[in-house]
A and B are shown apart, each in its own frame.
Chain A
Amino acid sequence: MSQDVVRVTRRSFLVGLNLSLAGLALGLPALADEPSGRAGPGPRAAAPEDGPGLHPNPFVHVAPDGMVTIVCHRSEMGQGVRSSIPVLIADELGADMARVVVRQADGDKKYGDQNTDGSSSIRKFYDDLRYVGATARTMLVAAAAAKWKVKPETCEARGNAVVHPPTKRSLGFGELAEAAAKLPVPNRENVKLRPRSELLRVNSPSLPLLDGPAYVTGQAVYGADVKLPDMLIAVIARPPVVGGKVARYDASRALKIPGVKRVVEMPAAQRPYGFQPWGGIAVLAENTWAAMRGRAALDITWDPGDNVVYDSSTYREKLLASVREPGTPYRNVGDVDAAFAKAARVVEAEYTVPHLAQMPMEPPVAIARFAGGRCEVWAPTQHPQAARAQVAKTLGIGEDAVAVHVTLLGGGFGRKSKADFSAEAAFLAREAGVPVRVQWTREDDIHHCYYNAVNAQRIRAGLDANGKVIAWHHRTAFPPIGSIFTETDKPGLNDLQQGVLDLALDVPNVRAEGCKADAHVRIGWYRSVYNIFHAFGIGSLIDEIAHARGADPRDVWLEIIGPPRTMSLQDLGIEKLANYGEKLEKHPVDAGRLRRVIERVTASANWSGRKKDGRGYGLAAHRSFVTYTAVVLAVVPDERNKVRVDEAWICMDAGSVVNQDRARAQMEGSVVMGISNAFLGGITMKGGATEQSNFRDARIARIGEVPRKIHVDLVPSDGPPCGVGEPGVPPVGPALANAVFALTGKRIREVPILRGLFA
């Protein structure tokens, strides 16, 4: 080889873009000790917080040179958390973003909850993160005030310095850091948050994308980009049916493939499966290609186990039969049976939604090294603490002996909350005695997924002579996520919070039931989870009621939701509401907010004028992750798919927003993902094994299949922050089904809608 490849250096790129070097440093996990080539994070530099300076909590460090290190404890998977959390802390602190370095936290309980899931990074940590920054600010101000012998209240922290306006004195954060570090860390009650108006960058319309330059030059480090010396690549043949195991295998052909080093049998997973490795036969090779070829050359006979009976078409019938029988009632208002007996008219329908697979563009991958009884893991994980715990469990060592470093995630959507792939890498690294990267192929990702639950619903509405809904009866059946942790065959109270129990209804008689559904595959979180199908059923039925009455769907939505009000547990007819972990006093079920997003989105979409342009319009709204979202889609005829979404409007009330542009990007992406889910989505099983295997048959929307115009409206709010990453998705599916009905007159109650159009 002549010389090394020409490399775009970070500095030259940043100069090219005229952006600040310091503010955009990647903050890669400071890793162990050896050089790792371009791909891996660099040799370990002492973590800045190990050096002198102010370090009042695990999140902030102010160095004597004035550099501020802010730790992002949540995983970056496209939601923009690394461009949001540091800004919030820096604003409270008064730091200059050009002097801020962002570091990605390892999995460690000292950071609190790191499970990047449930649209919770800002929602749950908004106040805590502000206190983190405010605590450091309070100490820097106290140090300056002591030096100047003035009252701290007369000082201000801004622009990376403490200033004393009356005397025009100023000391940089760096100059104060060591003095501040000698002060006691104040309690939270002695720390004052800034008034909202002093958070200068929070909610400004276009915060820079922290990792933008790295993303567009190929320098960003995702899971598979980490390279360790002597590392082998593993590709694993896993049991095609959940619960299956290897009956016998012959690896002789695989071992003859150049580059293949070893074949390792992995133990079969035991029920309940949780996040355990899946078992199977691993081929370890010098490079990914050899490992893939080696796996293809394995001769394995599988014992498929009990789930070989799982067949999606018969299971759908089973779920429908389940919702035709009474389930466990979780929501009860009035007397539903009496109300139906006197109803002038009943509108009822059954809806089904298949399994969905997250299919992040980056398939699962993890790197591990095991030496001296300790294991170090690098992974694109949403949940580094769970990865740490599972690795420890799989290896039978203490969590203290496990370190989990979080890379960037090439998408997560819930798949990477699970620790299975991290534990696989750890197991194989110990077996092999050298570092191992476990590389999942796309086929592996689709075949060995923690799928979103498959669902059937039966919803009935009783109408009086004027068409007003006087009775609402909702039954839903789906295998819950809890089935991967305990033996359970029906959704529980907490599962029904997602759209069923927290639905604002101005209806005097309501009953909602959870019905039986046994699990035959691993069920897992998928962006917005059960809300996907509950919004689909509810949003479709409300539209069906409107058409049955010959009324405007918008008016019927508002009538069924009823007047603006917050609803108590008693109003809702439930014993308790998990409410995404939020107190009802802080995040009530607010019919007014649900109404408002409908009013705003229909105004933006010129809903009243919709009949004039030849397009089919559909509307739906949904509360999830304590956020309120409404969507209007306009569809047009399409040569290939019969229908195409031409334009979309999405309105979200998520309370206070930290990073408007990333919130908008989440809404745009939610529309796209919602279209993929409802129009194209669906994973099916035959003989217990997944029928789809790659993007050819597990379709997601392409650029020409999504609207060119997606109008995003964020409701201005000073309220407590709510979820952003997920709540955009649920209303998209029903809005699409309703738009398809408006255009074609065809009511499609089964996802994927595309198949229904050709049925």
Chain B
Amino acid sequence: MSVRIRVNGVEKTLDVDPEMPLLWALRDVLGLTGTKYGCGQALCGACAVHLDGQVVRACVTPVRRADGHSVTTIEGLAPDGSHPLQRAWVELGVPQCGFCQAGQIMTAAALLKAKPKPSDDEIDQSMAGNLCRCGAYPRIRAAIRKAAGMPEGER
């Protein structure tokens, strides 16, 4: 079966098992490796992407669910990589190993779209599904605040 998806603004036709998780379609078939595998069970958020603007866990989303829809990955978040979150992430030195950060940023981007000035509690709530083993959480929170044009807060 072929699946048609608009990926980062470009129409793609994939000839894959419709049950294949979107994660593996992105990584193995389309070569978009910015989206990461961390758990395969929607527990860690490393694979977070946008499906029609909503955050989904690509590791448990069958590719058929994206048929006829639009997917945005970290590679397509900003045409020149200068999304306010990406800038804040670099300026505040958020990443340690960096592996989870694509998922963190995609989740935070959806949060800021829905809530341009989130409170710390709202940040914690929205980001609760994104694990970071290096423990960059305080800087993640600060960078979201910075990208939102709010004071970074003490950390």
Q: Is the CB of B136 within 8 A of A668?
A: yes
8 Å CB contacts to A: which residues of B101-155?
Answer: 101-102, 105, 120, 123-125, 127-141, 153-155
Alpha-carbon gap, A389 to B141, bound state (A)? 42
Alpha-carbon gap, A212 to B97, bound state (A)? 10
Q: Is the CB of B24 within 8 A of A287?
A: yes
CB of A704 within 8 Å of the partner chain: yes
Q: Is the CB of B101 within 8 A of A215?
A: yes
CB of A345 within 8 Å of the partner chain: no
Q: Is the CB of B90 within 8 A of A17?
A: yes
Greatest chain A CB density within 10 A among B76, B95, B96, B105 is at B96
Contacts of A80 in B (CB 8 A): 96
Contacts of B120 in A (CB 8 A): 708
Contacts of B31 in A (CB 8 A): 37-39, 227
Contacts of B32 in A (CB 8 A): 5, 38, 218
Alpha-carbon gap, A709 to B71, bound state (A)? 35
A458, chain B: closest CB distance, angstroms? 31
Q: Is the CB of B133 within 8 A of A289?
A: no
Q: Is the CB of A362 within 8 A of B99?
A: yes
Contacts of B129 in A (CB 8 A): 702
Alpha-carbon gap, A215 to B95, bound state (A)? 7
CB of B67 within 8 Å of the partner chain: no
Chain A residue nearest to B76 (CB atoms) is A6
CB of A392 within 8 Å of the partner chain: no
Contact of B90 among A209, A413, A443, A662 (CB under 8 A): A209
Alpha-carbon gap, A676 to B131, bound state (A)? 12
Contact of A5 among B8, B17, B35, B135 (CB under 8 A): B8
- What range describes how many residues of B lie at the interface? 35 or more
Contact of A218 among B11, B30, B102 (CB under 8 A): B102
Q: Is the CB of B38 within 8 A of A216?
A: no
Contacts of A78 in B (CB 8 A): 95-98, 134
Q: Is the CB of B41 within 8 A of A212?
A: no
A102, chain B: closest CB distance, angstroms? 15
Alpha-carbon gap, A27 to B90, bound state (A)? 19
Alpha-carbon gap, A726 to B36, bound state (A)? 26
Q: Is the CB of B33 within 8 A of A708?
A: no
8 Å CB contacts to B: which residues of A697-711?
Answer: 700-704, 706-710
Q: Is the CB of B43 within 8 A of A696?
A: yes
Chain A residue nearest to B10 (CB atoms) is A5
> With contacts A78-B96, A410-B36 known, is A703 near B124, CB below 8 A?
yes
- Give the number of residue pairs across the A-B interface with Cβ within 8 Å: 250
Contact of B46 among A4, A361, A412 (CB under 8 A): A361
Tally A residues with Cβ within 8 Å of B. 86
B-contact bits for A214-243, CB 8 A (1 contact / 0 none): 111111111011010000010000000000
B-contact bits for A478-510, CB 8 A (1 contact / 0 none): 000000000000000000000000000000000
Contact of B75 among A211, A218, A221, A359 (CB under 8 A): A218
8 Å CB contacts to A: which residues of B45-61?
Answer: 46
Q: Is the CB of B8 within 8 A of A706?
A: no
Q: Is the CB of B127 within 8 A of A233?
A: no
B-contact bits for A34-69, CB 8 A (1 contact / 0 none): 000111000000000000000000000000000000
Contacts of A19 in B (CB 8 A): 90
CB of A588 within 8 Å of the partner chain: no
Contact of B95 among A38, A212, A289, A704 (CB under 8 A): A212
Alpha-carbon gap, A114 to B42, bound state (A)? 35
Contact of B136 among A4, A222, A669, A708 (CB under 8 A): A669
Chain B residue nearest to A10 (CB atoms) is B81
Alpha-carbon gap, A695 to B120, bound state (A)? 24
Contacts of B135 in A (CB 8 A): 668-673, 676, 701, 706
CB of A592 within 8 Å of the partner chain: no
Contacts of A360 in B (CB 8 A): 97, 99, 133
> With contacts A80-B96, A706-B135 known, is A8 near B79, CB below 8 A?
yes
CB of A146 within 8 Å of the partner chain: no
CB of A665 within 8 Å of the partner chain: yes
B42, chain A: closest CB distance, angstroms? 10
Chain B residue nearest to A220 (CB atoms) is B98
Q: Is the CB of B132 within 8 A of A361?
A: yes
Q: Is the CB of A442 within 8 A of B39?
A: yes
Alpha-carbon gap, A673 to B137, bound state (A)? 11
> With contacts A410-B36, A702-B128 known, is A288 near B28, CB below 8 A?
yes
Q: Is the CB of A708 within 8 A of B138?
A: yes
Q: Is the CB of A696 within 8 A of B81?
A: no
Alpha-carbon gap, A258 to B135, bound state (A)? 40
Q: Is the CB of B154 within 8 A of A709?
A: yes
Contacts of A695 in B (CB 8 A): 39, 41, 43-44, 131
Contacts of B139 in A (CB 8 A): 665, 668
Q: Is the CB of B133 within 8 A of A211?
A: no
> With contacts A218-B35, A709-B155 known, is A16 near B133, CB below 8 A?
no
Chain A residue nearest to B127 (CB atoms) is A703
Chain B residue nearest to A664 (CB atoms) is B93
CB of A408 within 8 Å of the partner chain: yes
Q: Is the CB of B99 within 8 A of A289?
A: no
Q: Is the CB of B134 within 8 A of A216?
A: no
A55, chain B: closest CB distance, angstroms? 30
Alpha-carbon gap, A666 to B134, bound state (A)? 8
Alpha-carbon gap, A214 to B132, bound state (A)? 18
Alpha-carbon gap, A402 to B24, bound state (A)? 30
A118, chain B: closest CB distance, angstroms? 18
Greatest chain A CB density within 10 A among B29, B39, B89, B139 is at B39
Alpha-carbon gap, A707 to B41, bound state (A)? 27
Contacts of A187 in B (CB 8 A): none
CB of A13 within 8 Å of the partner chain: yes
Q: Is the CB of A6 within 8 A of B128?
A: no
Q: What are 18 inter-chain pairs, A to B, with CB distance below 8 A?
A: A7-B75, A215-B95, A216-B90, A216-B98, A219-B75, A224-B33, A224-B37, A287-B24, A359-B133, A361-B38, A361-B99, A361-B100, A410-B100, A442-B41, A668-B155, A694-B40, A695-B131, A700-B133
Which residues on A are within 8 Å of B, measured CB to CB?
1-8, 12-13, 15-17, 19, 37-39, 76-80, 206, 209, 211-222, 224-225, 227, 233, 258-259, 287-290, 292, 359-363, 408-413, 439, 441-443, 661-662, 665-666, 668-673, 676, 694-696, 700-704, 706-710
Complex A-B, nearest 8 residue pairs according to Cβ-Cβ distance, in ascending order: A218-B34, A672-B135, A410-B99, A78-B97, A16-B82, A13-B81, A215-B98, A78-B96
For the complex with contacts A216-B81, A222-B99, A666-B96, 18 further pairs of A-B residues with Cβ separation under 8 Å are A1-B12, A6-B76, A16-B81, A38-B31, A78-B134, A218-B74, A288-B28, A289-B20, A360-B97, A408-B97, A442-B39, A442-B41, A665-B134, A669-B96, A670-B135, A694-B39, A695-B131, A704-B128
